[in-house]
Amino acid sequence: MNNTTLTTSALVELDKQHFTHPWTVFDVYQQQGALPIAEAKGCYITDSNGKRYLDAVGGLWCTNIGLGRTEMADAIAEQCRQMAFANPFVDMTNIPATQLAAKLAELAPGDLNHTIFTCGGSTAVDSSYRLIQYYQNCRGKHDKKHIISRNNSYHGSTYLSMSIGGKAGDHPVEFDFISDFIHHISCPNFYRAAAGMSEAEYLQQLLDELEQKILTIGPDKVAAFYAEPIFGAGGVIVPPAGYHQATWAICKKYDVLYVSDEVVTSFGRLGHWFASWDVFGIKPDIITTAKGITSGYQPLGACIYSDRIHQVISEPGHGRCFAHGFTYSGHPVACAAALKNIEIIEREQLLQRVLDIGPYFQQQMKTLQDLPIVGQVRGQQLMVCVENVRDKVSKSLFDEELDIGKRIADHAEDLGLIVRPIVHLNVMSPPLTITKDEVDFIVRTLRQAIERTINDLQQQGHL
Ligand code: PMP
C-alpha cells in the first residue's frame, strides 16, 4: 500500500484499526483518532493537512538537535550502504559501536567507562538491573537484589522498568507489577510538602526515609537506588538543593549502587552531556540514557557503568559469560547516528546554547504563574512543567475526568503549539536549538491556551 495516496481521514481510520498506540485511552482514541504527523524540521512538525506546529515537547524529550538535518540523514544513509547490520554477539563488533562506547566513556562522569547498548531507555533500565544482579552474584551477595525507587518516577515500559517506576497512573489494575523486591519512597516534590515545612526540614525527612527504608529491608538486601536527576514524566520535579549528594552519600554508606536514569536529562537537556556530575555533583555507579543520544533519529539506549563493577564481573580466571544482550545491541546505524549527533552538539556548541537560553525559557514560563489556575511553573534549563490547580492556595487539583492538561494541550494544538499533557500537568522540552523568538511564541500561545481553557471551564460550570 502506498501511504502517500491516503487521505488524512483514511489514514486516521486505518490507524484506529491497526496501530495500538502507547498509552492509548481506547474509548477517547476511537472518538478522536490521532494527529498524523507528516514532516518534521528543526522545532516544527507539519501534519498531513499541511498545518505547522512548534513542537515544544521535542518529540518526547528527544529531538535535541532538531529534526530534518541532512547531515544526520547522510550519516545514517552512508552507514546503511556501508553496513546496515553487524552481529554484536560474543567476539564480533563494528566500528561505530566501538567508537561510540569510547566516546561515552569520555563524556560520562567518574569511572563510567563501559557501555551495554540497548534499543531504548526501558531496555537500558532493564539491562542495568540484570547487570546489578550479575554483579551481586559475582560478589557472592546473593541476597542483595532489592531496589529502592521513588513514587512518581518513570523508568520505562517493560515489565521490570515499569515496576521500578512509581507513577500511580502507570500502574493500572489491568497490569501486573513486580513488588517483591521493588520498594518506593516519597517523591521529593517540595511544592507538595506539608504546609509550613521548611525546605531544609523537608529534605531531612526525605533523607531519613531513604535511610530508614534501607535499614528496614536490610543493607545486605538492598542492591540499588534508582533516580532520575530531575523527574521527567512525573512532572519535571527538581529535588531540593542537596538531595542528590545526600542520597548518594547514604547509598555509599550502605553499599547501595546509585543508578542515575538520565534518559531525559543527558545530551544537553540541562546544558551538559550528563546532569549527574556537572549539574548535581554526584558520580553514580550506573547511568542509563537514550533519547537525546541520537536526538530521535534512530532508536538507541545505553547503560553506562563503572570500572568498579566491570572489574568484578570480568575478573580473570572465572571464565564467566555475561549472558545478556540483544540482536540490535550496538546497532551500527544507530551508533553512527549517535556519533554524528554528538559531533553536531560539539560543533554547534549546543550545551553552551542551552546554558544561555535555558534561564530565559524558565523566567518567561514563570510569567504564566499569574494565571488563576497555574499553581506552579517549575523546571531547569530546557525542561519545564506547568502544574494546573483548581485552587492556588490549597493547591487542590481538578477532577481527573476534566483532563485539564489535555484540554490545554488541545487548545495549544489549535493555536499551532504542541505541549504534552500529563493529567493536570503540561510539560515541555524543546530542541536545544530553540530561539528567543520561539520561546516567546511558546509562552504567548500557552497563555492563550490556558485562558481559553479557563473560559471553557467557567462556561461549563467547573470554575
Ligand atoms: N527512563 C526515563 C527517565 C524516561 O523518561 C523514559 C522515557 N520517557 C524511559 C526511561 C524509557 O525510555 P524508552 O521509552 O526509550 O524505552
- Starting at the edge strand found earlier in the chain, the sheet holding 44-47 runs 37-41, 44-47, 52-55, 417-418
Q: Are residues 104 and 238 in the same domain?
A: yes
Structural domain includes residue 132: yes
Statement to judge: residues 157 and 206 lie in one domain: yes
Domain range for residue 185? 71-347
How many separate domains does the chain show?
A: 2
Distance between CA atoms of residues 267 and 286, nearest Å: 16
In a domain, 20, yes or no: no
- Nearest CA residue ID for atom 1, ligand 1: 155
233 lines ligand 1 (CB under 6 A): yes
3-class secondary-structure state, position 375: strand
Instruction: Retrieve residue 61's grid coordinates.
Output: 524529550
CA angle 23, 51, 430 (to 5 degrees): 55
What number does the ligand 1 atom closest to the CA of 121 have?
A: 12
| 167 shares a domain with 61 | no
Instruction: Report yes or no on 7 lying in a domain.
Output: no
Which has the closest alpha carbon to 95: 352, 312, 332?
Answer: 332
Instruction: Yes or no: say if 121 and 263 are a contact pair by the CB < 8 Å rule.
Output: yes
Measured CA to CA in angstroms, residue 174 lies from 12, 24, 177, 178 at distances of: 27, 14, 10, 14
Residues 51 and 94 in one domain: no
What's the one-letter identity of residue 334? A
Sign of the CA dihedral running 155, 157, 161, 166: positive
What is the distance in A from the centroid of ligand 1 to the CA of 419?
18
Ligand 1 centre to CA of 406 (Å) is 21
- Regions of the chain short of the pLDDT cut 50: 1-2
Q: Are 199 and 308 part of one and the same domain? A: yes
**Does the Cβ of 125 fall within 6 Å of ligand 1?**
yes
Residue 4 has what pLDDT? 59
**CATH number of residue 58's parent domain:** 3.90.1150.10
| pLDDT value of residue 191 | 97
- What are the DSSP calls for 286-322, one per residue? EEEE-GGGTTTSS--EEEEEEHHHHHHHT-TTS----
The ligand 1 atom at the shortest distance from the C-alpha of residue 228 is 3
Note whether residue 314 is domain-resident. yes
Tell me how far apart the 2 most distant CA atoms of the chain are, in Å. 74
Residue 45: half-sphere exposure toward Cβ, Cα within 13 Å: 19
Q: Is residue 147 part of a domain?
A: yes
- Is any atom of ligand 1 closer than 6 Å to the C-beta of 263? yes
Total residues belonging to the chain:
463
Answer yes or no: do 389 and 286 share one domain.
no
Does 399 map to a domain?
yes
- The reply to whether ligand 1 has any atom less than 6 angstroms from the CB of 293 is no
Instruction: Output the pLDDT for position 6.
Output: 87
Is 290 found in the same domain as 253?
A: yes
290 C-alpha to center of ligand 1: Å? 7
